[in-house]
Amino acid sequence: MINTSDFRNGLSIIQDNDIYTIVDFQHVKPGKGGAFVRSKLKNLRTGAVIDKTWRAGEKMEQAILEKKPMQYLYNQDGDYFLMDIENFEQVSVQKDQIGEPVKYLKDGEQVMVQSHEGRVIGVELPFSVELEIAETDPGVRGDTASGGSKPAKLETGAVVQVPFFINVGDKIKVDTRTDTYLERAK
């Protein structure tokens, strides 16, 4: 058990039979009345962020999360299969557990899997991935890096905006958190 004085960003707790991560918190000590803690909690199952106010010293259960690197193998009927790099054991994860970044998963990609008491609760992708352009309009002579952008379909099926000079077959780096083009890959 932990109490509100142990709060820090990234700490995971169990609240209402769900696992939440503390995104932000603030200890408040008003001139009148008892101290309290305002917090923003992110539900690890749904991704929803809620506001919660606690009395100072209130106790709750800490959720011990295990993080383990795994390799993405393939998907079939909405199940995404991952392999433990150490013992080659395979697990399947639902698409909603990975969330929106699922569109950047490519075979052989390494991801971090979060689990609680042996049950997978989430998958974290790297902040950036290198992918090849599968479809885009061809670049025209005179197009420059600062001249705007065009849509491009990546090898995984995701669509991002890229500069005009990017062509089919080019490898680019994409930020998985913001869905934006970062740079041409070396």
Domains in the chain, start-ordered, CATH in brackets? 2-62 (2.30.30.30), 66-124 (2.40.50.140), 128-184 (2.40.50.140)
pLDDT band at 163 (very low <50, low <70, confident <90, very high): confident
Helix (H) / strand (E) containing 98 = helix 95-98
In terms of Cα–Cα distance, which of 180, 169, 185, 107 is closest to 134? 169
Mean pLDDT of 14-30: 87
Rounded Cα distance, 125 and 142, in Å: 36
Q: Are the C-beta atoms of residues 13 and 25 closer than 8 Å to each other?
A: no
AA identity, residue 32: K
Terminal alpha carbon distance of the chain: 49
- Residue 90's pLDDT is 87
In this predicted structure, the answer to whether residue 42 has a pLDDT above a threshold of 70 is yes
Amino acid at 81: F
Residue 158 has pLDDT above 80, yes or no: yes
Model pLDDT, residue 58: 87
Average pLDDT, the chain: 84
Contacts of 183 (CB under 8 A, 6+ apart): 172, 173
At 53-98, the pLDDT tens digits run 988 888 888 888 888 888 888 888 888 888 888 888 888 888 777 7
Q: What is the pLDDT of residue 95?
A: 79
Whether pLDDT at 144 is above 70:
no
Give whole-number Cα distances, 50 to 15, 41, 45, 47, 93, in Å.
Answer: 12, 5, 13, 10, 25
Task: Find the mean pLDDT for residues 127-137.
Answer: 87
- pLDDT of 51 reads 92
Tokens of 170: 């080019």
Q: Which of the given ranges, 15-24, 39-48, 120-129, 132-141, has the highest pLDDT on average? A: 15-24
Q: Rounded to whole angstroms, how far apart are CA atoms 143 and 35? A: 60
